[in-house]
Chain A
Amino acid sequence: MSGLIVRGARLLGGETGDIRIVDGRIDAVGSVDPAAGDHMIDADGLVALPGLVDLHTHLREPGGEASETVLTGTRAAAAGGFTAVFAMANTSPVADTAGVVEQVEALGRQHGYATVRPIGAVTVGLEGRQLAELGAMAASRAQVRVFSDDGHCVADPLIMRRALEYVATIGGVIAQHAQEPRLTEGAQMNEGPLSGELGLAGWPAVAEESIIARDVLLAEHTRSRLHVCHVSTAGSVDVVRWAKKRGIAVTAEVTPHHLLLTDETARDYDARFKVNPPLRRAEDVEALRAAVADGTIDIVATDHAPHPDERKECAWAEAAFGMVGLESALSIVQHTLVDTGMLDWAGVARVLSTTPAAIGGLAGYDAPLAVGAPAHLTLVDPEASRRWSTDELRGRSRNTPYTGITLPGRVIATVHGGVPTVLDGALVDADTVATTAGGR
């Protein structure tokens, strides 16, 4: 049977080798003799990573198709080296029923660019009052395991306690958007000297840290699992570190943008830099990088949040929160963690693939690039360098904060379950991907 051979890639142990993919699985790794009819990818100088997994993506469909769809969002994902994305629940209608999550999951399967695992809402309509039918979503064809009201905090301590307890019965996890709502009413940017100067309402670090502190104690009390979304402050890192030391089952993520950008970017009132939680101080950026390096923060997740131009080309307070991140995530991780010597490529595989898959209960990622495993892999050229612009984006929206910055690294190929979605640095067209994926 003919296969696909990745020739001469740098494997995670640092050695150079080939990878042969047959029938959607990794057939051989090391020195591989091509069989007749095998397609070849020349991977000389490229690093082979397991397919990247994003635990925090906003695909916007249903309801937000002007910003993104499952198709455009998974194309952006593939371009960024991702083979699986967890789609947040804040769509319209909200993903709080089995029907919605099944629809989103099916769209992902139909298009074939990436595995789409819907995240279910914790509460009906994300309103924080009544638990959504977590069991029904878990038992649906979408097999939901991650639940989040992201965009909103599950602020009511009783609802949070019950959600943590309830989700344990179905083997899931609550992914909390930690934001004390009363402490952040009208909040526009990090509370600090610059918010005071610019006259923008502050979003204080304590509004995040106090919720995380409460939630890790609730997780301990209920003996449940907690995942903390987009940790953004040094204080939050301290709380998570304390909780882990105590043996509490907590995992945490950081976004690429919180690993690079600071609140100084607000100075020009350019709303491309408006995001929730807000960009913080340089000290926070340093603490977040160190926390990824020492494992306190388990994963990097994009919080890819597409918005149309008109939601950003306006006064800061009127603009939407969020930035796109799928296409740039790996470059930002390389820039902030690999090129600074804080993480090696095996570490990148851990924070962007193995661990997010494990947290999300996604099978097929526990043995990266091992023979017999599903063939999800990403080839990155670490020597490449790009001056970032909106031309690098493949989704429907253009709200990237990195325009004009020179970033290292470039995804040359992405293979999702044996199906190439990116080849020679370009997306494979939608028909080919859908047909090839459908044929499996």
Chain B
Amino acid sequence: MKHLLTTRDLDREAAVRILDVAEEMAATADREVKKLPALRGKTVVNLFFEDSTRTRLSFESAAKRLSADVITFSAKGSSVSKGESLKDTAQTLVAMGADAIVVRHPASGAAHRLAHAGWIDASIVNAGDGTHEHPTQALLDAFTLRRRIHGADARGRALDGTRVVIVGDILHSRVARSNVWLLATLGAEVHLVAPRTLQPAGIDEWPVTVHALLDDALATEPHAVMMLRIQRERMVDAYFPSEREYGRMWGLTAERFAALPADTMVMHPGPMNRGLEIASVAADSTRSTVLEQVTNGVSIRMAVLYLLVAGVEEERA
């Protein structure tokens, strides 16, 4: 594996391997010395064209625990805002010795271009591209689900038969896209819920069951409900009439939360709009995995960086 751009091209074996390596990485977090020497002498660049403190810190932390040298390049206030292109920026960073580039970009396909346009030869990790994909988020979600369901016995397993309901702005959600492909590959049963206005074209061809109404989806008694962040500006574009109506129809309200099976997990990629797509009682309950998702994010990103950077070395040797 040279790049991680989308979860679509991960087969079941590769996906389970990433999750298993992440288990190893998670185990080291319990040690007194958390650092591994795996990427000593390697340089990982975080190239962020879009603000995302959480994802950036998670990748930084992952790279540092693997002993890589980490350079973080935020586009704001840099030469990028002076008109330097994605191509020039990436070539500059590779000239400085980057072995892997973790890229977050507001345009869909930016990571794909960096990997395949022939501009540079470095491993590319997609840390979120526009409204396309966010593969490490999906991997950490799958990792979180697998751990909750299988506990210490998780290694080697997939998510066969796990029913996951994903709710919200599917149209603009890179988290949803990455989760759909990955969860389906891992054998999970995926249900998507969104008003018709927020369902992407062609959703009927995805390996999912689509519902317009949340209550229909919750009636399937899912193992997990994943609430997506809803952006308030979507109202202006007439995707839905008001926050109140959205919350009433597609929010995980206290009433809906109370009616769920007692072991249904509540997931959210963060940051949350409490009171809009998710009630505090759901977000703060023991069934919420929100903080575990953050912790697991570091393990997953360690696994991905390790497999891309050290893994490529192994293959060459």
Interface, chain A (partner B; CB < 8 A): 185, 188, 191-202, 268-270, 310, 313-318
**Residue contact A315 to B202, C-beta cutoff 8 Å:** no
**Residue contact B202 to A194, C-beta cutoff 8 Å:** yes
**Residue contact A314 to B174, C-beta cutoff 8 Å:** no
Chain B residue numbers with a CB within 8 Å of A268 are 112, 116
Give the complex CA separation of A188 and B108 in angstroms: 10
**Residue contact B129 to A199, C-beta cutoff 8 Å:** yes
- B149 interface residue, CB < 8 Å from A? no
**Residue contact B109 to A196, C-beta cutoff 8 Å:** no
Give the complex CA separation of A56 and B297 in angstroms: 52
Residue of A whose beta carbon sits closest to that of B106: A317
Give the complex CA separation of A221 and B108 in angstroms: 44
**Residue contact B86 to A199, C-beta cutoff 8 Å:** no
**Residue contact A192 to B201, C-beta cutoff 8 Å:** yes
Chain B residue numbers with a CB within 8 Å of A269 are 108-110, 112-113
Residue of B whose beta carbon sits closest to that of A316: B109
**Residue contact B202 to A199, C-beta cutoff 8 Å:** no
Chain B residue numbers with a CB within 8 Å of A270 are 113, 117
Chain A residue numbers with a CB within 8 Å of B86 are 314-315, 318
- Distance to closest chain A CB from B190 (angstroms): 15
- Distance to closest chain A CB from B87 (angstroms): 5
Give the complex CA separation of A202 and B108 in angstroms: 13
**Residue contact A199 to B132, C-beta cutoff 8 Å:** yes
Residue of A whose beta carbon sits closest to that of B174: A199
**Residue contact A317 to B201, C-beta cutoff 8 Å:** no
**Residue contact B110 to A199, C-beta cutoff 8 Å:** no
Given A197-B202, A269-B112, A269-B113, 12 other A-B residues pairs in contact with their CB atoms under 8 A: A185-B237, A193-B205, A195-B201, A195-B202, A199-B133, A200-B130, A200-B131, A200-B132, A270-B113, A270-B117, A314-B86, A317-B109
Chain A residue numbers with a CB within 8 Å of B131 are 199-201
Give the complex CA separation of A199 and B109 in angstroms: 8
**Residue contact A317 to B203, C-beta cutoff 8 Å:** no
Q: Specify which of A269, A270, A310 lies most central, judged by the most chain B CB atoms within 10 Å of its CB.
A: A269
- B85 interface residue, CB < 8 Å from A? yes
Chain A residue numbers with a CB within 8 Å of B133 are 199
Chain A residue numbers with a CB within 8 Å of B110 are 269, 315
**Complex partner residue of B108 from A192, A198, A313, CB under 8 angstroms:** A198
Give the complex CA separation of A391 and B18 in angstroms: 45
- B105 interface residue, CB < 8 Å from A? yes
- Distance to closest chain A CB from B154 (angstroms): 30
**Complex partner residue of A196 from B85, B106, B107, B200, CB under 8 angstroms:** B200
Chain A residue numbers with a CB within 8 Å of B107 are 315-318
- B64 interface residue, CB < 8 Å from A? no
Chain B residue numbers with a CB within 8 Å of A316 are 107-109, 113
- Distance to closest chain A CB from B169 (angstroms): 12
- B65 interface residue, CB < 8 Å from A? no
Chain A residue numbers with a CB within 8 Å of B174 are 199
**Residue contact A196 to B202, C-beta cutoff 8 Å:** yes
**6 nearest A-B pairs in the assembled complex, by CB-CB distance:** A193-B202, A269-B109, A196-B200, A199-B132, A315-B107, A199-B131
Chain A residue numbers with a CB within 8 Å of B112 are 268-269
- B56 interface residue, CB < 8 Å from A? no
- B177 interface residue, CB < 8 Å from A? yes
Give the complex CA separation of A286 and B109 in angstroms: 29
- Distance to closest chain B CB from A175 (angstroms): 29
- Distance to closest chain B CB from A273 (angstroms): 12
- Distance to closest chain B CB from A315 (angstroms): 3
Q: Specify which of B109, B119, B201, B203 lies most central, judged by the most chain A CB atoms within 10 Å of its CB.
A: B109
Give the complex CA separation of A196 and B133 in angstroms: 11
Q: Within residues 114 to 131 of chain B, which ones have a CB less than 8 A from any CB in chain A?
A: 116-117, 119, 129-131
**Complex partner residue of B130 from A196, A197, A310, A317, CB under 8 angstroms:** A317
Chain A residue numbers with a CB within 8 Å of B119 are 313
Residue of B whose beta carbon sits closest to that of A195: B201
- Distance to closest chain A CB from B14 (angstroms): 20
CB-defined A-B contacts under 8 Å, sample of 13: A192-B201, A195-B202, A196-B200, A197-B177, A199-B129, A199-B133, A199-B174, A199-B177, A268-B116, A314-B87, A315-B110, A316-B108, A317-B109
Q: Specify which of B86, B110, B113, B177 lies most central, judged by the most chain A CB atoms within 10 Å of its CB.
A: B113
Give the complex CA separation of A193 and B199 in angstroms: 11
Give the complex CA separation of A200 and B256 in angstroms: 33
Give the complex CA separation of A36 and B44 in angstroms: 76
Mask, B232-270, CB within 8 Å of A = 1, is 000001000000000000000000000000000000000
- Known contacts A191-B201, A195-B201; is-contact A317 B108 (Cβ 8 Å): yes
Give the complex CA separation of A269 and B126 in angstroms: 14
Give the complex CA separation of A265 and B86 in angstroms: 21
Chain B residue numbers with a CB within 8 Å of A191 are 201
**Residue contact B87 to A200, C-beta cutoff 8 Å:** no
**Residue contact B201 to A313, C-beta cutoff 8 Å:** no
- Distance to closest chain B CB from A320 (angstroms): 13
**Residue contact A198 to B109, C-beta cutoff 8 Å:** yes
Chain B residue numbers with a CB within 8 Å of A201 are 131
Q: Within residues 128 to 145 of chain B, which ones have a CB less than 8 A from any CB in chain A?
A: 129-133
Chain B residue numbers with a CB within 8 Å of A185 are 237
- Distance to closest chain B CB from A111 (angstroms): 33
Give the complex CA separation of A301 and B132 in angstroms: 34
Give the complex CA separation of A46 and B129 in angstroms: 51
Q: Within residues 204 to 238 of chain B, which ones have a CB less than 8 A from any CB in chain A?
A: 205, 237
Mask, B74-91, CB within 8 Å of A = 1, is 000000000001110000
Give the complex CA separation of A317 and B106 in angstroms: 9
Give the complex CA separation of A225 and B305 in angstroms: 62
Chain B residue numbers with a CB within 8 Å of A194 are 202
- Distance to closest chain A CB from B204 (angstroms): 8
Mask, B149-189, CB within 8 Å of A = 1, is 00000000000000000000001001001000000000000
- Distance to closest chain A CB from B143 (angstroms): 23
**Residue contact A315 to B200, C-beta cutoff 8 Å:** no
**Residue contact B201 to A315, C-beta cutoff 8 Å:** no
- Distance to closest chain B CB from A185 (angstroms): 8
**Residue contact A202 to B201, C-beta cutoff 8 Å:** yes
Residue of B whose beta carbon sits closest to that of A192: B201
